[in-house]
Amino acid sequence: MTREVAGYLARLGLDERPPATIATMFEIHRRHAERIPYENLHTMLGSPPAIDAEATLVRVAAGGNAGYCFHHNGIMTVALRALGYDVVPAWGHNWDTDAERRDVHVGHLALYVRGLPTDDNPDGLWWPDVGCGDGLHEPLPLIAGEHRQGPFTYRLELRDGGWTFHHDAKGSFGAVDLFDEELTPEQETAAHRRLTHPASGAYARKLVVQRRLPDAAETLRGCLFTRTGSRTEKVELTAYDDWRDALRTLGVALQGIDDVALRGLFVRSLAAHREWMATR
């Protein structure tokens, strides 16, 4: 186990090397989902972090931010392999409509873990995913049907070439098709560039910060904070100090970020939020 993996585990509150068991995988997943938020802050500030998993691991172990799915599931893959898990690479395509589903492109980095059978999952194949933002709090067994986690109900569907995950109706996206294939470095780089392109990238349009708690999912989208679970709470953050405090509460590290740049992002986000509210 490398020093960086040890540092990542220490950030999760695990100071010793844990055994490669189902219980350990679930504990790592829960702690990561709760403590290391999905976010595109640096992308919105004009400097999207590279998707190199080792570099992300160093940054996260030091208390910094991760990024989006390529970063989160990248370091999850490295950490689980270092602990002895059998990790199988995969990738995904997020969609909401049939038209979006047909327009297949790499939009999500995924992974499976195999070799951990239980009475309820005799095949021992699992889907841990800490890169879905408001998605999973714990790994899902790759078994077709409905799965309940806290106040959310998910559905897994087996299809040729992989699986389809259907999010809860309260979620921020509809579904993701998972493909049983490994991406080449060239494919990963091309997808990252497309997703974070400042003019057209899907992850460069609006600030999004999300974390998954046992009983809720919390999201800051632009200047609107939303907590979804058994009930929904929404708060408009129209003052800079309140907005910045929400970033910190969600677990975003602001050390080293220029305050002028952060204020500029808030001003742009607030203008877009007010324009959006005016159309409702």
So where are the chain's domains? Answer: 3-193, 202-278
Whether pTM exceeds 0.95: yes
Continuous H helices in the chain? 3-11, 22-35, 41-44, 53-61, 69-83, 98-102, 185-196, 240-249, 259-278
175 bridge partner residues: 95, 166
Whole-number Å distance between alpha carbons of 211 and 247:
11
Whole-number Å distance between alpha carbons of 16 and 14:
6
pLDDT digits (tens, 9 = 90+) for 10-33: 999 998 899 999 999 999 999 999
Whole-number Å distance between alpha carbons of 27 and 99:
37
One-letter identity of residue 173? F
Whole-number Å distance between alpha carbons of 159 and 179:
10
3-state secondary structure of 276: helix
| 194 contact partners, CB below 8 Å, separation of at least 6 | 105, 200, 201
Q: At what angle do helices 69-83 and 22-35 cross, to 10 degrees?
A: 150
Q: What are phi and psi of 7, to 5 degrees?
A: -65, -40
- Tell me if domain 3-193 and domain 202-278 are identical in fold: yes
Q: Would you identify the CATH topology of the domain 202-278? A: Arylamine N-acetyltransferase fold (3.30.2140)
CATH code that applies to domain 3-193: 3.30.2140.20
% of residues, the chain, pLDDT over 70 = 100
pLDDT at residue 161 in the model: 86
- Tell me if 14 sits within 8 A of 61, measured CB to CB: no
pLDDT at residue 40 in the model: 98
pLDDT digits (tens, 9 = 90+) for 225-240: 999 998 899 999 999 9
- Tell me if 110 sits within 8 A of 228, measured CB to CB: no
pLDDT at residue 5 in the model: 96
Q: Where are the beta strands (DSSP E) in 129-181?
A: 140-141, 145-149, 152-159, 162-166, 175-179
3-state secondary structure of 246: helix
3-state secondary structure of 204: helix
pLDDT digits (tens, 9 = 90+) for 34-89: 999 999 999 999 999 999 999 999 999 999 999 999 999 999 999 999 999 999 99
- Tell me if 264 sits within 8 A of 224, measured CB to CB: no
DSSP for 180-195, written as a single string: S-PPPHHHHHHHHHHH
Count of residues making up the chain: 280
